Structure 1
Amino acid sequence: MRGALFLFSAVTLLTVAVVGRAADPPAKAERVKLWDGKAPQGDGTFEAADAFVTVHRPEKANGAAVVICPGGGYGGLVTGAEGHGIAAWLNKHGVTGVVLEYRLPKGRPFVPLLDAQRAIRTTRANAAAWRVDPAKVGIIGFSAGGHLASTAGTHFDAGDPTAADAAGKQSCRPDFVVLVYPVVSMGPKGHGGSRTNLLGKQPDEKLVTLFSNETQVTPKTPPMFLTHPKDDKVVAPDNSRMLYDALRAAKVPAEYLELPSGGHGLNGYKGPMWDAWQARSLAWLAEQKFLPQGAKD
């Protein structure tokens, strides 16, 4: 299926387990540094800082892995429900969950992207140890984390074969992207707070265009699943609609599940709207051959 638009109704309700909302990861999860204390800022300079991933490994891995980008308006990180809770849900379906604690940009627009790219590269570099298929490494994002995930899906490279470390040699192109009530655009239909935190108060128009991901889609963009509630008053659903239209125009496999209600955060990460995107995204990933057939809840 190259492109599909799904409108959710009570008739199509699919019930799944509600994601846990614990703020902290389980003790068995592994926290990994991405930069060893010397993190790039995107302008040729480095800072004495780091980003981290927390790796949640399922008991029975099916080879798929997902880098998880929590939201927070690029001013914080919602690592509970939109991070470790998502990893726990993915683990139930044999998927390795890699929760990304990306650096907050503070007007440095390339900083979160560099962290997301590094997380994808690191996952591929550790594929054998983490029981991951390097051709089934995706990314999921929520709200501003959805902007980061969609940026990773539209800005990527094949890696540097001359890199000194194994991660640097890996491609940072995600194999698939899942976006949940995402910020996509840095234009007037985007989210003002996320834009200011990412680009600064008076950004150059070239940066606005570069980070408006609906303008960055090409035929090489990976398959994407998008979902957004119609009544989202924080991040307008036009963000998802514009990106979905761009994906269809580029003939990139995509699906957009538009939900009738739930608002931003989908009723506090629970209930039928939250359940619906989870069920449909798993089924879509199975249709795209990233999960075994039959995954749906």
Structure 2
Amino acid sequence: MSVILARRTLLGGTVALGLAAALPAQAPAPLTYRPIWPGKAPGGEKVTEVEQEIPRSPTGPKDDTAFLHVTTPTMAHVAPAKPNGAAILLIPGGGYLRVAIGNGGRALLQFFADQGYHAYLLKYRLPGDPWAAGPDAPLQDAQRALRLVKAEAKANGVAIDRIGVMGFSAGGHLAAMLAYRGDETYRAVDAADAQPLGVRAAGLLYPVALMGVPGTHRGSQDQLLGETPAPDVALRYRTDARITAASPPTFIAHAIDDRVVSVDNGLALLAALRRAKVPAEAYLPEIGGHGFGVTIDGQPAPWTRLFFAWAKRHGL
């Protein structure tokens, strides 16, 4: 168990990925998104909302966007020039109200590809729309995406036991649910669904974890479970409550001064991992706010160096 405290200012950023202000000098090529489901996503009989892509900021770059009312879950993939035999599924945030991909997502994919990973980015459905699975609709998409990554692992030279997940903010909640829950949330639709669930390791960046208790990120809870979920329901969707001795090694990065998602969420996860004796490392900078990115002044942020060393140690 490793906890790293830092006094260095990281970089205040956006709520979801925190990368729009920290792009590489040369922007990566446009991404190609592919649907993760054959045909329509499951359980959409009552969904009438129309998917929208909107600017995250009226003054920001045109391609710094977020998605509302996602009806076609998709996944983007960037292959590494020098593969290391591993893959990672990246899950952006947005408070379960939107999926904030845009510029930040493109930079994030390229950053991980530059480290040798086959990098995948998920655009998932949102629980506020009337999907039959309710709060499990995003998890259905995450499970399906993971299985697709595994199904094509051999063709990509990826070891099936070297696939990880990383999530940001509300995406950190979804990534943790994917990592810590092993139950099926949908019926198989094709051969890819024969792939097992489970990841080698999980990275959770300023993650939402708590539900129904002090420290809860109310926006995420309201979208996922409603304003006043029953205690047993709230407990079911607390990711710290899902951790067992069988949970994968987990890396947490959460700024102590985060005023959007309280660091109590990251600390609750760390405490649960310690109780379960699951290998874990936590980077808890004094200053950083919510949504810090992968670079500072054009250089890799401290947490990235720590994460990659930790990931290598755990076979990712």
TM normalised by structure 2 equals: 0.79
Q: CA deviation at 1:82?
A: 4.8
**2:173 aligned residue:** 147
- SS of the residue corresponding to residue 195 of structure 1 reads helix
What residue identity is the alignment partner of 2:179?
G
- SS of the residue corresponding to residue 238 of structure 1 reads helix
Q: CA deviation at 1:173?
A: 1.2
What residue identity is the alignment partner of 2:86?
A
**2:248 aligned residue:** 222
**1:32 aligned residue:** 34
**1:183 aligned residue:** 208
**1:56 aligned residue:** 78
Which 10-residue stretch deviates more, 99-108 or 224-233?
Answer: 99-108
- SS of the residue corresponding to residue 251 of structure 1 reads coil
Q: Which string of whole-angstrom CA distances, capped at 9 and with x for unpartnered residues, describes residues 61-83 of structure 1? A: 11111111101111112213552
- In the alignment, which of 5, 8, 24 is matched to residue 7 of structure 1? 5
CA contact (8 A) 1:219 1:252 kept: yes
Quick one: structure 1 residues 31 and 165, their matched pair in 2 at CA, closer, same or farther if it must change by over 3 Å? same
Q: Which runs of 5+ in 2 are unaligned?
A: 9-20, 49-70
Structure 2 distance, partners of 1:51, 1:31, is: 9
Q: CA deviation at 1:271?
A: 2.3
- SS of the residue corresponding to residue 227 of structure 2 reads coil
- In the alignment, which of 263, 266, 282 is matched to residue 308 of structure 2? 282
CA contact (8 A) 2:23 2:104 kept: no
**2:53 aligned residue:** none
Higher RCO (CA 8 Å, separation ≥ 6 residues): 2
Structure 2 distance, partners of 1:216, 1:41, is: 25
The answer to whether structure 1 residue 95 and structure 2 residue 117 are counterparts is yes
- In the alignment, which of 239, 252, 255 is matched to residue 281 of structure 2? 255
What residue identity is the alignment partner of 2:269?
L
CA contact (8 A) 1:19 1:81 kept: no
- Identity %, equivalent residues: 36
- SS of the residue corresponding to residue 36 of structure 1 reads coil
The answer to whether structure 1 residue 207 and structure 2 residue 209 are counterparts is no
Superposed CA RMSD in Å reads 2.8
CA contact (8 A) 1:186 1:211 kept: yes
CA contact (8 A) 2:162 2:315 kept: no
**2:51 aligned residue:** none
Number of aligned residues: 276
TM normalised by structure 1 equals: 0.84
Q: CA deviation at 1:19?
A: 5.2
Structure 2 distance, partners of 1:61, 1:191, is: 37
